[in-house]
């Protein structure tokens, strides 16, 4: 009975902000103070500001979103110092400040704004805007203070993160106090994530091992503006060049960017699911949660969990400190003496890494010597022993703190935990599992399961059900009887997502009419068309390989099932019975891209949309979900088209279902992929990364543009001779930079099935992206997110304007008496040849300035340009109002445009050579 009363009171407490609407709801404070029972509600009704309950008779002044199922707090004033519910109030002072006082009149929070003069201190107004911004204005409607300037853990659209602000996470899912994680701009002008623990602080994003953030993470540390903003379209941009696109980019919906209590930065969109509005994850910065520092606390170990994301456990000989919060970590059940008579030993933990907290570093040292070094220090908790390939010998890292430890099969090193010489008593397994969910339909990011408490709750629940009525027992018995016919995978330790249905082999055999209608076939298995009992048409794939156990298969199916994206094929269910393993997918009306390339069904606009959608689907697999997934077989046969010809990437879990392949090539027992689409890394036995998918994607783009297969030989007519080339070579050698301006090469490579109806600018852009993707060196290829950004940038929008400028330019005499000097020499006349030359150079220059990707060619088409043309070129570019003006040319020095902040330009070392021929 006590538990029931507790839950009832908790529900009433959480709905108090909604009940308060009945007392007072307006978007503007009419008086001078706001009490517990008052609310400010934005004019559109979407946001409320008032006293939000955070505990028993504990309130914080906050702003929350009303439309979601649970009121989502987006800003909080006194998060670390709640007030009681009697007599506390928010007041507007005449001097232009807001103060929050508790029941005894003590100020617990203030805006700290400068005091206003007497003339401006009247008619102050506190108002909650439709964007969720709480503003304090003077009599002239000038904003004195706004909540957007001091965010807590959330950014709303068009709310800026600046050098003066930061995001600080909550303590836990239901504890709104300041947590252990911070998003901020550092002194190098780079946006970073910081773990602030009780004993140490450490940066964990971008990768702390990258010493030059501008080199490997494409950050720009030279922009000191320190400004980041989330747009309502789902696009985020920071002054250090960090950007991301939400998976639903372009969709108009409510959004927020939140630094969650688990240390992960996530973008959320409001979506209607099962009849209710809730937040769905549309992007997150860290795909592997164990890479977040401090996520399991000190003296603990974080391991990847294919069902829940991560699993925290204590080290051998340690026990958990706080059963309600893993961030406190574990404490030892033993003590180590520094006495030589009481020596210690070491427990080896394979593939375990602890970041930072090194006492020192020893190079080229044996394992025995490393053990002695640790024994000689009273504060040494253990040591990392790692072989560094670049140096050719082992390194020893003694640790004085054990924080941010994680297990990864790809880490080539071991950790040796220091324990008493007598060893450890039989330590129990951790009875807590801390889990993160990667489901776009569940906004809860951290769940903690306690077995002992769960057992007690189940016993209490079973007793209550048994005491209510006998009918309930009968229903439970019938349910169990039915479940015995369909074994529940959760009983074996695998909790599958509720979007799935487990089918029997007989059900799928009937649905496919005995596996009669084949609609696809590949290395992984055969795909059949079927009709499910609910009359939904499905694509049912029967896997070839049957060497995988049921438990491993279910774990992998669950991992794939948690991937949810509009450009990924949706999985509806599965079947596993003995050697039979089948997957049930949604059916695509128009089949695969390969089937449509040789028909008139795909016009140019459809092809371009397919290219962009496929890139977004692959980018989600590579960078935006918790589980890092490689496709390994990107090809037109695995890009399916729905009724509207929207693409859906299929077979993205094939490698994962057949083997637990991760980043390291050694985990692949054989080469993956299809001939013609495979990256060179497979051939040369190099490490396999997401760039293998990027290469395959580039081949698909070229095939979409040309209509030619990458496996055949194609004729290149060079005038006097006819040569046979492969697809990539054919396209590269067809592009002649002498006619790159006119784009005449497009007509030579474009697929005849398009029948001349195409956008030359988009064709050129797609080819440029494709050629960058198929670079031999994987480091020269872009990521899929960079590819999306390149495809999203409109190109050559300046060309019509430039043509107008060129047409309007008169061929006139510029006399020396006019005072004009170009490149250090006076001249008498601008000739036709010079105008043509300037037009060609300007067009080529701007083309490279406005595109993040470029043709892989070593030289510029025009080897020299007069100083006069260089000077006039400068004027033309300046007239186009570009954000980054080019440098003034000189007659005596080579002139090179500076590299703009976010654009990668491939200018040759001898881009322009000036002469005094003018």
In a domain? residue 455: yes
In this model, does residue 519 exceed pLDDT 60? yes
Q: Give 176-204 pLDDT, tens digit per residue.
A: 999 999 999 998 889 999 998 877 788 88
Active-site residue, 186 included: no
Same domain, 330 and 433: yes
Q: What CATH number did the domain enclosing 130 receive?
A: 2.90.10.10
SS3 456: helix
Higher pLDDT pick, 445 / 395: 395
Last residue of a domain, one of 737, 764, 792: 792
Closest CA to 344 of 396, 418, 416: 418
Domain holding 630, by residue range, is: 593-792
Same domain, 613 and 752: yes
Q: What CATH number did the domain enclosing 720 receive?
A: 1.10.510.10
In this model, does residue 833 exceed pLDDT 50? no
Q: Taking residues 225-234, what's their average pLDDT?
A: 92
Residue 172 to residue 174: CA distance in whole angstroms: 6
In a domain? residue 668: yes
Q: Which residue has the tokens 């040759």?
A: 908
Same domain, 36 and 103: yes
Same domain, 851 and 896: yes
In a domain? residue 914: yes
Q: Which residues of 806-830 are buried (b: 16+ CB within 10 A; e: fewer)?
A: eeeeeeeebeeeeeeebbeebbeeb
Residue 264 banded pLDDT, cuts 50, 70, 90:
very high
Query: Based on the structure, what is the number of domains in the chain?
Result: 6
Q: How much is the pTM?
A: 0.50
870: buried, middle or exposed (CB in 10 Å: 19+, 13-18, 0-12)?
buried
Closest CA to 379 of 364, 357, 395: 357
Higher pLDDT pick, 216 / 716: 716
Q: Give 3-30 pLDDT, tens digit per residue.
A: 444 444 444 444 444 444 434 468 888 6
Closest CA to 540 of 565, 504, 593: 504
In a domain? residue 216: no
Q: Taking residues 728-738, what's their average pLDDT?
A: 75
Closest CA to 618 of 589, 641, 593, 651: 651
Provide the token pair at 790. 């390149």
Last residue of a domain, one of 530, 554, 586: 586
What distances in angstroms separate CA 222 from CA 3, 166, 443, one per listed residue?
58, 20, 36
Same domain, 782 and 810: no
Percent of the chain at pLDDT > 70 equals 66
In a domain? residue 192: no
Residue 433 φ then ψ, to 5°: -130, 120
Same domain, 683 and 816: no
In a domain? residue 515: yes
By residue count, the chain amounts to 918
Residue 661 banded pLDDT, cuts 50, 70, 90:
very low
Same domain, 702 and 810: no
Q: Taking residues 109-136, what's their average pLDDT?
A: 80
Same domain, 639 and 549: no
Q: What CATH number did the domain enclosing 513 receive?
A: 3.30.200.20
Residue 32 to residue 315: CA distance in whole angstroms: 56
Same domain, 440 and 300: yes
Angle, vertex CA 118, rays to CA 114 and CA 120, nearest 5: 70
In a domain? residue 238: no
In a domain? residue 898: yes
Same domain, 786 and 840: no
Q: Which residues are annotated as a binding site for ATP?
A: 541
pLDDT of 712: 72
Catalytic residue among 633, 651, 693, 751: 633
As a whole number of angstroms, the longest Cα–Cα distance in the chain is 109
CB 891 within 8 A of CB 771: no
Residues 6 or more apart in contact with residue 101 via CB below 8 angstroms: 83, 88, 89, 91, 107, 108
The separation between CA 841 and the C-alpha centre of its own chain, rounded to angstroms, equals: 38
Same domain, 571 and 470: no
Last residue of a domain, one of 113, 134, 150: 150
pLDDT of 460: 58
Same domain, 312 and 429: yes
């Amino acid at each position: 009975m006590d538990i029931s009363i507790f839950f009832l009171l908790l529900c009433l407490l959480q709905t108090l902000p909604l009940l308060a609407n009945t007392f007072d709801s307006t978007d503007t404070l009419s008086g001078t103070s706001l009490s517990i029972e008052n609310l400010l509600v934005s004019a559109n009704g979407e946001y409320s500001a008032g006293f939000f309950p955070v505990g028993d008779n504990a309130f914080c002044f906050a702003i929350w979103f009303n439309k979601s199922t649970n009121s989502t707090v987006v800003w909080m004033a006194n998060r670390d110092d709640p007030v009681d519910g009697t007599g506390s109030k928010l007041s507007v002072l005449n001097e232009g400040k807001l103060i929050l006082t508790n029941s005894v009149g003590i100020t617990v929070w203030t805006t700290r704004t400068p005091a206003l003069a007497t003339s401006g201190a009247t008619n102050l107004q506190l108002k909650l805007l439709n964007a969720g911004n709480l503003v304090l204005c003077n009599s002239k409607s000038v904003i004195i203070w706004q909540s957007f300037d001091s965010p807590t853990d959330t950014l709303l659209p068009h709310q800026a993160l600046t050098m003066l602000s930061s995001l600080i996470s909550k303590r836990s899912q239901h504890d709104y106090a300041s947590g252990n994680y911070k998003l901020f701009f550092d002194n190098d002008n780079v946006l970073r994530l910081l773990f602030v623990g009780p004993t140490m602080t450490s940066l964990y994003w971008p990768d702390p091992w990258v010493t030059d953030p501008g080199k490997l993470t494409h950050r720009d540390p030279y922009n000191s503006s320190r400004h980041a903003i989330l747009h309502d379209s789902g696009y985020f941009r920071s002054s250090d060049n960090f950007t991301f696109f939400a998976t639903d980019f372009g969709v108009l919906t409510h959004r927020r960017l939140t630094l969650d209590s688990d240390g992960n930065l996530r973008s959320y969109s409001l979506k209607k699911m099962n009849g209710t509005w809730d937040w769905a994850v549309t992007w997150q910065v860290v795909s592997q949660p164990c890479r977040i520092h401090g996520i399991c606390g000190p003296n603990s170990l974080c391991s990847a969990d294919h069902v829940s994301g991560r699993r925290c456990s204590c080290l051998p000989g340690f026990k958990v400190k706080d059963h309600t919060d893993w961030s406190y970590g574990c404490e030892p059940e033993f003590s180590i003496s520094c006495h030589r008579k009481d020596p210690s030993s070491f427990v080896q933990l394979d593939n375990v890494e602890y970041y930072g907290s090194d006492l020192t570093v020893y190079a080229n040292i044996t394992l025995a010597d490393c053990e002695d070094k640790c024994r000689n220090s009273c504060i040494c908790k253990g040591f990392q022993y790692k072989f560094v390939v670049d140096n050719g010998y082992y390194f020893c890292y003694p640790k004085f703190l054990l924080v941010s430890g994680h297990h990864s099969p790809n880490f080539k090193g071991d950790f040796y935990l220091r324990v008493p010489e007598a060893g450890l008593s039989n330590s129990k397994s951790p009875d807590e599992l801390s889990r993160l969910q990667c489901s776009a339909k569940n906004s809860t990011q951290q769940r903690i399961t306690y077995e002992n408490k769960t057992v007690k709750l189940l016993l209490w629940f079973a007793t209550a059900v048994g005491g209510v009525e006998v009918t309930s027992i009968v229903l439970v018995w019938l349910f169990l009887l039915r479940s015995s016919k369909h074994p529940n995978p959760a009983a074996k330790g695998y909790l599958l997502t509720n979007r799935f249905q487990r089918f029997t082999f007989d059900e799928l055999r009937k649905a496919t009419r005995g596996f009669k209608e084949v609609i696809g076939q590949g290395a992984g298995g055969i795909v059949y068309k079927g009709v499910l009992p609910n009359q939904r048409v499905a694509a049912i794939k029967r896997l070839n390989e049957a060497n995988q156990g049921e438990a491993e298969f279910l774990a992998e199916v669950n991992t794939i099932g948690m991937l949810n994206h509009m450009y990924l094929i949706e999985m509806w269910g599965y079947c596993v019975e003995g050697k039979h393993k089948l997957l049930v997918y949604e059916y695509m009306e128009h089949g695969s891209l390969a089937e449509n390339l040789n028909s008139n069904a795909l016009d140019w606009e459809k092809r371009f949309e397919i290219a962009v959608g496929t890139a977004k689907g692959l980018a989600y697999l590579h960078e935006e979900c918790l589980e890092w997934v490689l496709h390994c077989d990107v090809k037109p046969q695995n890009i399916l088209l729905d009724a509207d010809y929207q693409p859906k990437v299929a077979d993205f879990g094939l490698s994962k279902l057949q083997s637990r392949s991760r980043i390291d090539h050694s985990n692949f027992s054989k080469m993956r992929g299809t001939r013609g689409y495979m990256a060179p890394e497979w051939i040369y036995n190099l490490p396999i990364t997401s760039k293998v998918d990027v290469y395959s994607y580039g081949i698909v783009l070229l095939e979409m543009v040309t209509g030619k297969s990458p496996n055949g030989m194609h004729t290149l007519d060079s005038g006097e001779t006819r040569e046979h080339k492969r697809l990539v070579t054919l396209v590269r050698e067809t592009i002649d930079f002498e006619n790159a301006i006119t784009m005449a090469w497009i007509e030579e490579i474009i697929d005849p099935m398009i029948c001349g109806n195409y956008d030359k600018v988009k064709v050129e852009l797609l080819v440029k992206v494709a050629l960058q993707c198929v670079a031999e060196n994987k480091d020269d290829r872009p990521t899929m997110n960079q590819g999306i950004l390149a495809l999203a940038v409109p190109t050559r929008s300046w060309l019509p304007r430039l043509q107008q400028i060129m047409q309007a330019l008169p061929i006139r005499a510029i006399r020396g008496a006019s005072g004009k000097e170009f490149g250090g020499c006076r001249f008498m006349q601008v000739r036709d040849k010079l105008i043509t030359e300037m037009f060609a150079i300007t067009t080529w220059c701007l083309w490279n300035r406005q595109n993040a990707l470029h043709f892989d060619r070593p030289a510029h088409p025009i080897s020299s340009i007069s100083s006069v043309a260089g000077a006039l070129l400068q004027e033309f570019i300046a007239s186009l109002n570009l954000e980054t003006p080019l440098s003034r040319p000189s007659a005596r020095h080579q002139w090179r445009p500076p590299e703009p902040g976010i654009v990668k330009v491939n200018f040759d070392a001898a881009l322009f050579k000036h002469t005094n021929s003018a």
